[in-house]
């Protein structure tokens, strides 16, 4: 039974690595954002509750999020294991996760894809997105042929507000404040492992594979 939790700051490439790890291990990658949207789309009881809260501009409670995760972990494709991406986010959620996953044998493996804040700010603030087709470029590592113009459709490339240096720095500060207690929680259980997230995608993948 493979139970993996992927941690990492925004812009660290955690999502890409999670997709690759889940694919190689033959287990589903579970993102709370994805399953929350699916529960709302399917009109489940918890999905309806979540939709009412989100429509009113509120934050979905831990009880509802964990309940939706519990429903997802009960699906047949999780029989051999699962990878959680973006969950848990807090110690309270981690404690609740332990209770709802007792049916799944074995301990969690927690992999933290770590990248220095300065590198993340540079990486994200170098990203440009096409206004027309949403194709993504990076002015440092994957620059368009013509500055400010999409190679694919010729649309205008923009720097999203979320990718501005000051915004990225604020997002990272919130992440570290929220996640630091979670890291200590998993360290105390002896399941936390940090992997260097700098370098190429394949290079980082090899580091994660060595840990697993």
Stretch (H or E) spanning 197: none
Active-site entry in 89, 135, 194, 207: 89
Residue 185, CA atoms < 13 Å, CB-side half-sphere: 19
Dihedral of CA atoms 44, 46, 50, 52 in degrees, nearest 10, equals 70
DSSP string, 87-155: ---SHHHHHHHHHHTTTS-S--EEEEEE--HHHHHHHHHTEEEETTT--EEETTTB--SBTTB-TTT-P
Active-site entry in 24, 48, 160, 189: 160
Active-site entry in 3, 14, 49, 128: 14
164 is known as an active-site residue: no
37 is known as an active-site residue: no
Instruction: State the maximum Cα–Cα separation within the chain, in Å, rounded to a whole number.
Output: 54
29 is known as an active-site residue: no
Residue 160, phi then psi, degrees to nearest 5: -65, 150
CB atoms within 10 A of CB 179: 18
Active-site entry in 3, 29, 109, 171: 171
C-alpha 184/C-alpha 181 separation (Å) is 5
171 is known as an active-site residue: yes
User: Given the structure tokens 């990203």, which residue do they identify?
Assistant: 127
Active-site entry in 3, 29, 72, 127: 127
Q: Which of 96, 102, 28 is nearest to 68 (CA)?
A: 96
128 is known as an active-site residue: no
Q: Which residues are catalytic?
A: 14, 89, 127, 160, 171
């Amino acid at each position: 039974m493979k139970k993996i939790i992927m941690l990492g700051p925004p812009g660290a490439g955690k999502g890409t690595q999670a997709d690759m790890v889940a694919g190689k291990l033959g287990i589903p990658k579970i993102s709370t954002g994805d399953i929350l949207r699916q529960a709302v789309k399917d009109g489940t009881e918890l999905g309806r509750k979540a939709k009412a809260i989100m429509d009113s501009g509120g934050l979905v409670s831990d009880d509802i999020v964990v309940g939706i995760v519990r429903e997802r972990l009960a699906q047949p494709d999780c029989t051999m294991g699962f990878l959680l991406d973006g969950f848990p986010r807090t110690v309270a959620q981690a404690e609740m996760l332990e209770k709802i996953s007792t049916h799944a044998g074995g301990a969690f493996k927690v992999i933290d894809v770590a990248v220095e804040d300065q590198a993340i700010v540079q990486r994200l603030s170098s990203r440009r997105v096409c206004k027309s087709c949403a194709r993504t470029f990076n002015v440092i590592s994957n620059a368009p042929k013509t500055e400010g113009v999409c190679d694919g459709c010729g649309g205008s490339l923009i720097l999203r507000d979320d990718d501005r240096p000051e915004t990225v720095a604020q997002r990272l500060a919130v992440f570290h404040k929220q996640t630091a207690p979670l890291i200590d929680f998993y360290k105390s259980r002896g399941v936390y492992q940090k992997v260097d997230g700098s370098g190429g995608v394949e290079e980082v993948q090899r580091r994660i594979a060595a840990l697993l």
